[in-house]
Each structure stands twice: as C-alpha cells, then as structure tokens.
C-alpha cells in the first residue's frame, strides 16, 4: 500500500509531483502528517532563502553583464590610424599590381636589345637634335656636322612641351661626340648605336655612388648585371635612399632605385632576402618620419621616353620600395602600421 502523497510509476520507484516554482520533484513528502513539524519549518526556510538568493544573484549577474559589455566595447574598437597610413594600406595592392605589370613589360625584346624600344630611341634622337639646334654651329664644327647627319630627323610630332630632354644627359652625349671627332655618326642609326653603347660597370661602393649620381639608369646597364650584382646594388641603395629627400641627387637616386627594384630577381635565398629587407626597413623609417613631421615624400616621376603610360595615382619611390619588399619578398610586417 503506497504512502500518502506518493504514486507508483511503472518501474515501481516512488516519485512526487513537480514543484511549480522550481520545476523539480520534491525530495521529501512534507505534506505527510507523519513528518516532524520542525523539519518542515526548516525546509520552508531553506526554500525561502533559495528564492531570495536566486533573485539577488540574477539581478547582480544582469548588472555585471551590462558592465562587461560596456568594457568589452572599448576593447573591440580598432586603433585610429593616420590617414596617410590608411591610404597606403588601401592602395598598396594597386601599386604592387602596377609594378608587376611594368616589370613584365620590360622583359620585351625591344628593351633587352637596346635598353630603349625603337620609338623611345627615335624620340631621344629628335629631342637631341632639337637641343643642339640651340647651339652655335659657327663656333663648333661638331654641331654643324651633327645637324647635317640628322637633317632627315623630323621634330617630335606633337612637340609636347611637357616632354623635355635632360640637358645634363644631352651635354654628356655631346661631349662624347666632340671627343670622337673623326668618328662622328653619319646618320640617326649611327647615333642610336652610340647612345646605347654600354659603359664599364663600377666595382665597389664608392665607384657605384659616383656612377649613379652622375649617370642616368638604363635598361641596358641593368641587363648587363648579374642577379647577384643587382642585389648588392640594392644593399648599397639602403645607404643612399635617404638622399631621395634631398635636392642634389634626388632625381637620379630615385630613378636608379626604381630600376633596381624592377631588375631584382623574384626569388632570393635567405641571405639576400635579409639584404633586401634592410632596404625595406630604411624605406619604412623614412615613411614614418615623413608622416610624423608632416613632410610628404616627393611623388615618383617616370621618365616619359622610357616608361609609357600612367602610374596609379601619387606615390613616392619610398612607398614603392616598401610595397615591393613587403609583398614580393614576404616582409609584410613592414607594411603594418597599427602600432604607430
């Protein structure tokens, strides 16, 4: 005969009905008149304490969670970057794609054969003729002979005023021609051959610095260099790159750095990667300094007769160096600005 307040389950175990407040089965049959009244009073006090504790705990937990959300929101905020660094990060892939395309284009036969494509050579000859026409041919027989040899060379078709020959380069070429005298070019074809004759390559740090600051870069010069020589020149450039912010040698250092980046092998051993990384670190230091001191780096200007087409917006050779070292050679930590 089951005790009062109990019911039999099919498995013969004794259970009680669920408590409407806690949703659990009562452990003791407190409604049974045989239960000690003191025990019932004690259990009721425990039940009331549990009700108060649950409500208090829930209220405190809710307040704590609200506070945690507020604190967490502070840590979820991204650090504020300087607008120049944001622009760099946004455009670095675009600059890199442009660089890779340019690097691919210089591998064409026209560049490998002479250092310039035929159209660029024709343009150089035309502008050189225009330059020597400003000289006094009465006082210098070399000028008269050159103008005669180039008599069939037409003036540049569009005669774009934005395209001007580098007068320093033109003077050096003229001096070379004056030194030849008896071996002056007979026509424009001869002049093109002379213009593309390679110079003897320097052999050490000081000789390279003198050569770079006194001569414009050419595809022909870089084509003659071994990959190891190009990497070594890049390591030298790590010590010269700061000069792109100075007026004296800025133009030539900038152009030489661009050519060196274009001719660096895509794959390098670890030792040479470290040399290229040093160049990237110097470029990063210059970028940080320019942003901190609010002195923008000069925009990279391409030589019109060598690089056809437009580059994607404004960026410096320092920016390009950082992008190439970071993306081509896997030094991506140099492109992170969050800690700055």
Please give the pLDDT value at position 180. 72
Looking at the structure, tell me whether residues 275 and 245 fall in a common domain. yes
3-state secondary structure of 278: helix
Please give the pLDDT value at position 171. 86
Our measurement of the distance from residue 260's CA atom to the centroid of its chain's CA atoms, rounded to an integer in Å, reads 16
Residue 208 near residue 173, CB atoms below 8 Å: no
Please give the pLDDT value at position 75. 52
Please give the pLDDT value at position 63. 53
Q: What is the full per-residue pLDDT of the chain (340 aa) written as tens digits?
A: 444 444 444 444 445 555 655 555 566 666 666 667 777 777 777 777 766 654 444 454 455 555 454 544 455 556 677 899 999 999 999 999 999 999 988 866 445 444 567 888 888 899 999 899 988 888 888 899 999 999 999 887 665 555 677 787 888 888 888 877 768 889 999 998 888 777 788 999 999 999 999 888 888 888 889 999 999 999 999 999 998 887 778 989 999 999 999 999 999 999 999 999 999 999 999 999 999 999 999 999 887 656 767 889 999 999 999 999 999 999 999 999 988 7
Looking at the structure, tell me whether residues 165 and 228 fall in a common domain. no
Looking at the structure, tell me whether residues 221 and 304 fall in a common domain. yes
Q: Measuring CA to CA, how many Å separate 187 from each of 5, 146, 152?
A: 123, 8, 9
Give the length of the chain.
340
How far is Cα 153 from Cα 185, in angstroms, rounded to an integer? 13
DSSP string, 196-258: TPPPPPP-SHHHHHHHHHHS---HHHHHTS-HHHHHHHHHHHHHHGGGGGSTTTHHHHHHHHH
The conformation of residue 182, written as its DSSP 8-state character, comes to G
Question: 């025990």: which residue's tokens?
Answer: 39
How far is Cα 47 from Cα 29, in angstroms, rounded to an integer? 14
Looking at the structure, tell me whether residues 248 and 101 fall in a common domain. yes
Give the predicted TM-score (pTM) of the model.
0.62
Looking at the structure, tell me whether residues 328 and 236 fall in a common domain. yes
Q: Give the burial string for 124-148 (b: 16+ CB within 10 Å, else e).
A: bbbbbbbbbeeeeeeeeebbebbee
Looking at the structure, tell me whether residues 184 and 230 fall in a common domain. no
Looking at the structure, tell me whether residues 97 and 213 fall in a common domain. yes
**Residue span of the structural domain in which 255 resides:** 83-110+202-335
Please give the pLDDT value at position 109. 45
Q: Is residue 162 part of a domain?
A: yes
Sign of CA dihedral 261, 263, 264, 266: positive
Reading the block at residue 321, the tokens are 């160096």
Specify the number of domains making up the chain.
Answer: 3
Q: 25: Cβ–Cβ under 8 A, 6 or more apart, which residues?
A: 15, 16, 17, 18, 19
Q: Is residue 218 part of a domain?
A: yes
Closest by Cα among 198, 196, 272 to 229? 272
Please give the pLDDT value at position 78. 60
Q: Is residue 340 part of a domain?
A: no
Q: Measuring CA to CA, how many Å separate 157 from each of 107, 122, 128, 316?
A: 27, 11, 14, 31
């Amino acid at each position: 005969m089951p005790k009062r307040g109990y019911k039999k389950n099919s498995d013969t175990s004794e259970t009680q009905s669920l408590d409407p407040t806690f949703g659990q089965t009562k452990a003791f049959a407190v409604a049974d008149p045989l239960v000690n009244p003191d025990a019932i009073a004690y259990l009721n006090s425990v039940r009331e304490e549990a009700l108060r504790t649950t409500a208090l705990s829930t209220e405190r937990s809710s307040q704590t969670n609200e506070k945690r959300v507020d604190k967490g929101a502070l840590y979820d905020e991204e650090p504020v970057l300087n607008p120049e660094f944001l622009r760099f990060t946004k455009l670095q892939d675009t600059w890199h794609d442009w660089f890779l395309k340019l690097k691919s284009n210089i591998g064409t036969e026209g560049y490998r054969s002479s250092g310039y494509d035929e159209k660029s050579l024709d343009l150089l000859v035309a502008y050189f003729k225009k330059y020597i026409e400003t000289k006094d041919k009465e006082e210098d027989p070399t000028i008269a002979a050159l103008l005669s040899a180039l008599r069939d060379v037409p003036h540049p078709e569009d005669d774009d005023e934005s395209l001007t020959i580098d007068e320093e380069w033109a003077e050096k070429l003229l001096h070379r021609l004056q030194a030849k005298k008896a071996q002056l070019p007979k026509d424009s074809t001869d002049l093109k051959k002379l213009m593309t004759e390679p110079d003897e390559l320097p052999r050490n740090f000081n000789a390279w610095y003198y050569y770079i600051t006194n001569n414009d870069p050419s595809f022909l010069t870089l084509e003659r260099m071994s990959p190891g020589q190009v990497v070594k020149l890049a390591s030298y450039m790590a010590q010269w790159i700061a000069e792109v912010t100075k007026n004296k040698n800025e133009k030539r250092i900038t152009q030489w750095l661009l050519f060196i980046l274009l001719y660096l092998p895509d794959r390098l051993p670890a030792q040479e990667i470290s040399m290229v990384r040093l160049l990237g670190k110097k470029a990063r230091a210059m970028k940080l300094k320019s942003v901190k001191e609010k002195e923008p780096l000069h925009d990279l200007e391409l030589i019109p007769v060598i690089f056809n087409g437009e580059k994607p917006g404004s960026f410096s050779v320092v920016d390009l160096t950082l992008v190439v070292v970071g993306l081509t050679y896997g030094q991506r930590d140099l492109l992170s600005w969050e800690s700055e």
